[in-house]
Structure 1
Amino acid sequence: AKTSGGFAPFSHTVTSVTHHKGSSTVRALSMISSQSTSAEISWGIPTGSEGRKLRYIISYKCVNQLACSPGCQDAVEGRLTQENTRMTLSPLLPFTQYLVTVTPEDGLPSEIYVGTSEAVPTEIPSLSFRSPDRTNTSLTVYWEPTIVCSS
């Protein structure tokens, strides 16, 4: 290369990559619907990210299993990455509250609490050793209490 002092030896090539400024949080994170084992959420793209193809990290964790004490014994957690701005979280536990976090790539997290609805218990009670009581108009059966933690 020619400089003001004459020809100089070539310098090493330096390559630099600049990244787009990080995104802000997603907009309008909300729950669209909820059933006993799933919840659908949606959100808008972060401000200033129009025209960019973003990926989102969605994570969720059980914070309170309402039918159980203490809650979240059968904790369900998940972490997913996708490009869509709408998703169904499944399978979830019935009658449970979850903390859902949506984070755009290079962005800040947004959180929302979602809940699932009750469901019919799946536990099967065992019959008691006590004999049924019978009359002409009724039949009374007995069973052992069971821990219900599914609804």
Structure 2
Amino acid sequence: MNVLLKCVANKLIELTRILDVNHIKPISQINDLKNDKTWKYAITLEFDNNQPYKKRKGKYETLIFVNCYARNITNPDMAVLAFVNEVIGLLDEADFSNEDIKIYAVKYRACYPQPEKNSLLDAWQSFAAFLVRWTMK
């Protein structure tokens, strides 16, 4: 799973060219975001269990939740929706294979249409879900 996390995070780094994305972290490190008061945009990644894909040996299907956060900017509730749309545009049907992992398909599944206030981070958040089919090389 760590390899898939790195693969997705490396692809999301492309967002730094468009937006001031300061953090891309696994959800388990959300407290790092809480302690840093300077960021404007951040992402945490959550993974559902790897499921074998159609009983094919070594091929998996994983549901990925990309949680997007915005704060310290004008209209952060609207900004987070634009941010989620950038994430969807970047990841939907993308191939971000590397030397360790082969990505066969990335399909956008859903997003939460209304941003929510995250009191832990004092930020607005929304998410997008993607289904990723992959195998180790």
Structure 1 length as normaliser, TM-score? Answer: 0.32
* Larger helix share, 1 or 2: 2
Structure 2 length as normaliser, TM-score? Answer: 0.35
